[in-house]
């Protein structure tokens, strides 16, 4: 394996520097960085041209100038990379360091959500082939494929920001909204659960009635302005999480997994009040990291207590349960922060922003207020990118899983008497993921490339904005800096894809001298 990785890294380095050499020279020949100066009537234009030539080393031919740029880039191995300067004199490295975290915040969450949502819906549509849900999701996927991102973003600004902020001035849910939302939820879950007419109507009525009652209680208690989960509902959600994760992972009939997950859920419910006290501390990063470590330790203890053999899958189930319960606890704390945040003078009951990365009026040391403000500024861009991105995963997962389900080894697994959950999750789903890995790594590699249109619509200054600036101003150093970052990630993603292939499919595992 080590030899394989070393060979792959060597090939990737050759590809990286070969492609960067071609791009540098082609871009240098495609335009004139002094074009603006040649038409200028500024009396100081000659000195400006001279300064620009000296700063950008334009007196050196492009093929040789590339190696000057490369020498600065190779400084990354000694901790002193130099990507050159833009035409305004700012170091490219500083611009990249400012833009990369912005783009990661903007696109990374949307990519993760699109992957999880798309694969989940794709699996369900494959298992419910030709059902109402399958037809509905197929229509939605094709619709999302066809919609331009800027149009979706503008609609989200209007209805999920401006109109919602207006609604918060008098947050009363009209009866027509309750009926409409309940009907939509009822149709959604009825379509998922409805293998027959009877199960469809059971799912339809149960989910619709539950949604109507829930919305009525939310409206009556003023929950929209003062939300929260509370210890009782948190404990119920923890138990439901334990049952749900166990059912998906091992099946509730696997008692060691079920007991370990339930133990983690009980421990999470007991820790509710101590964690609320810890959440009041000024420094929250150690609290969150410490909570994660403790949760994983508790999952390990529960695994040792209830599983005497095959502890790996049991620990996986218990640890996933612990992480999800921790996320629910964080969501509850953010809900508690919502009321004071919305009513503050800086927000004034208009919490969902349409532009920017943060509210410049909010200057606070409160970790939870700052986190909530950041998440709300990410809300609309994340939804826009998720809606456009998840459609591809839905269609690809559905098609691949349907193909896998028709394979001989799936029929053999069923003939051996394995239950359907085991057939789907252990045999079909794992093999479905092999071709999807290619899409996953490409999407992760493109994260830092930025979402140019989305950044422009929501006024975020990330990698996409820098790319537009580099093209518009013919700034070769800036363009090459962006290329180096994105190309490196793309090549690393391909290496990760090869390793994931070997993890998912033993037939392609590699050893020293083998592939």
Give which of 379, 371, 376 is closest to 153, Cα–Cα: 379
Residue 140 contacts residue 391 (beta carbons within 8 Å)? yes
Q: DSSP label at 355?
A: S
Distance CA 398, CA 436 (A): 11
Distance CA 385, CA 395 (A): 17
Q: Tell me what pLDDT residue 83 has.
A: 87
Q: Tell me what pLDDT residue 513 has.
A: 46
Residue-wise pLDDT for 163-191, tens only, equals 999 999 888 899 999 999 999 999 988 88
Measured CA distances, 108 to 73, 104, 447 (Å): 26, 5, 6
For the chain, what is the mean pLDDT? 88
**Stretch 300-307: mean pLDDT:** 95
State the sign of the Cα–Cα–Cα–Cα dihedral 79, 83, 84, 87.
negative
State the sign of the Cα–Cα–Cα–Cα dihedral 421, 427, 428, 430.
positive
Selected residue with higher pLDDT from 176 and 447: 176
Q: What percent of the chain has pLDDT over 70?
A: 96
Contacts of 44 (CB under 8 A, 6+ apart): none
> Is residue 292 situated within a structural domain?
no
Tokens of 251: 């099946």
> Is residue 106 situated within a structural domain?
yes
Is the pLDDT score of 515 beyond 50?
no
What number of helices (H) and strands (E) belong to the chain? 23, 0
Tokens of 163: 């109109």
- Cross-strand pairs, 85: 91
Among 152-156, 320-324, 433-437, the range scoring the smallest mean pLDDT is: 433-437
SS3 track for 139-195: HHHHHHHHCCHHHHHHHHHHHHHHHHHHHCCCCCCCHHHHHHHHHHHHHHHHHHHCC
Give which of 391, 400, 474 is closest to 430, Cα–Cα: 400
> Is residue 371 situated within a structural domain?
yes
Distance CA 164, CA 170 (A): 10
Residue-wise pLDDT for 448-506, tens only, equals 555 788 888 998 988 888 888 888 888 888 999 998 888 888 888 888 877 777 777 76
Residue 500: how many other CB atoms lie within 10 Å: 17
Tokens of 5: 């990785």
Distance CA 154, CA 428 (A): 40
> Is residue 282 situated within a structural domain?
no
Residue 265 contacts residue 238 (beta carbons within 8 Å)? yes
**Stretch 279-288: mean pLDDT:** 91
Is the pLDDT score of 509 beyond 90?
no
- In this prediction, residue 378 has a pLDDT band, given cuts at 50, 70 and 90, of very high
Q: Tell me what pLDDT residue 5 has.
A: 78
Q: How far is CA 445 from the centre of its chain?
A: 12
Residue-wise pLDDT for 405-417, tens only, equals 999 999 999 999 8
Q: How far is CA 241 from the centre of its chain?
A: 21
Model pTM score: 0.85
Residue 5 lies in domain: 1-10+91-165+367-515
Is the pLDDT score of 514 beyond 50?
no
What CATH number did the domain enclosing 476 receive?
1.10.3720.10
Phi, psi of 382 (to 5 degrees): -65, -45
User: Count of domains in the chain?
Assistant: 1
Q: Tell me what pLDDT residue 474 has.
A: 83
Q: How far is CA 216 from the centre of its chain?
A: 32
> Is residue 1 situated within a structural domain?
yes
- In this prediction, residue 507 has a pLDDT band, given cuts at 50, 70 and 90, of low
Among 3-12, 234-243, 346-355, the range scoring the smallest mean pLDDT is: 3-12
> Is residue 146 situated within a structural domain?
yes
Measured CA distances, 371 to 105, 284, 357 (Å): 12, 11, 12
State the burial class of residue 16 (Cβ atoms within 10 Å of its Cβ: 0-12, 13-18, 19+).
Answer: middle
Residue 307 contacts residue 342 (beta carbons within 8 Å)? no
Is the pLDDT score of 47 beyond 90?
no
Residue-wise pLDDT for 135-162, tens only, equals 888 898 888 888 888 899 999 999 999 9
> Is residue 230 situated within a structural domain?
no
> Is residue 453 situated within a structural domain?
yes
| Radius of gyration for the alpha carbons in the chain, expressed in angstroms and rounded | 27
State the burial class of residue 332 (Cβ atoms within 10 Å of its Cβ: 0-12, 13-18, 19+).
Answer: buried
Q: Tell me what pLDDT residue 233 has.
A: 95
């Amino acid at each position: 394996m080590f030899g394989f990785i070393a060979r792959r890294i060597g090939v990737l380095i050759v590809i990286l520097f070969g492609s960067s050499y071609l791009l540098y020279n082609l871009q240098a020949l495609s335009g004139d960085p002094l074009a603006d100066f040649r038409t200028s009537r500024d009396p100081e234009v000659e000195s400006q041209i001279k300064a620009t030539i000296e700063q950008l080393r334009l007196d050196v031919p492009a093929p040789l100038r590339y190696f000057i740029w490369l020498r600065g880039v190779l400084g990354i191995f000694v901790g002193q990379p130099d990507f050159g300067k833009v035409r305004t004199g700012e170091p490219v490295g500083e611009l990249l360091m400012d833009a990369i975290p912005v783009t990661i915040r903007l696109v990374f969450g949307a990519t993760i959500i699109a992957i999880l949502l798309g694969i989940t819906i794709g699996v369900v549509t494959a298992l419910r082939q030709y059902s109402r849900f399958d037809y509905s999701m197929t229509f939605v996927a094709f619709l999302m494929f066809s919609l331009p991102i800027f149009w979706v973003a503008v609609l989200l600004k209007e209805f999920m920001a401006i109109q919602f902020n207006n609604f918060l001035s008098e947050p009363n849910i009209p009866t027509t909204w309750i009926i409409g939302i309940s009907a939509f939820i009822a149709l959604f879950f009825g379509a998922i659960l409805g293998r027959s007419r009877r199960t469809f109507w059971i799912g339809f009525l149960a989910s619709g009635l539950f949604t109507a009652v829930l919305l009525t209680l939310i409206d009556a208690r003023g929950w929209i302005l003062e939300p929260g989960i509370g210890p009782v509902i948190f404990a119920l959600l923890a138990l439901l999480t334990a049952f749900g994760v166990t059912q998906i992972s091992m099946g509730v009939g696997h008692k060691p997994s079920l007991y370990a997950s339930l133990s983690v859920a009980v421990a999470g419910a007991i820790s509710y009040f101590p964690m609320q006290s810890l959440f009041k501390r000024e420094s929250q990063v150690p609290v969150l990291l410490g909570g994660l470590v403790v949760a994983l330790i508790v999952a390990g203890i529960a695994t040792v207590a209830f599983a005497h053999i095959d502890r790996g899958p049991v620990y996986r189930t218990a640890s996933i349960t612990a992480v999800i319960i921790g996320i629910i606890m964080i969501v509850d704390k953010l809900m508690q922060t919502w009321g004071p945040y919305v009513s503050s003078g800086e927000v004034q009951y208009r919490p969902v922003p349409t532009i920017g990365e943060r509210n410049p009026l909010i200057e606070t040391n409160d970790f939870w207020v700052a986190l909530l403000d950041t998440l709300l500024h990410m809300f609309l861009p994340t939804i826009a990118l998720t809606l456009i991105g998840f459609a591809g995963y839905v269609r690809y997962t559905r098609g691949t899983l349907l193909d896998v389900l028709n394979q001989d080894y799936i029929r053999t697994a069923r003939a051996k008497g394995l239950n359907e959950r085991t057939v789907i999750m252990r045999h079909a789903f794992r093999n479905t993921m092999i071709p999807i890995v290619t899409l996953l790594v490409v999407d992760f590699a493109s994260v830092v490339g930025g979402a140019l249109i989305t950044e422009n619509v929501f006024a975020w200054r990330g990698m996409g904005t820098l790319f537009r600036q580099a093209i518009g101003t013919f700034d070769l150093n800036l363009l090459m800096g962006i290329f180096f970052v994105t190309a490196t990630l793309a090549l690393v993603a391909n290496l990760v894809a090869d390793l994931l292939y070997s993890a998912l499919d033993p037939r392609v595992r590699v050893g020293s001298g083998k592939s």
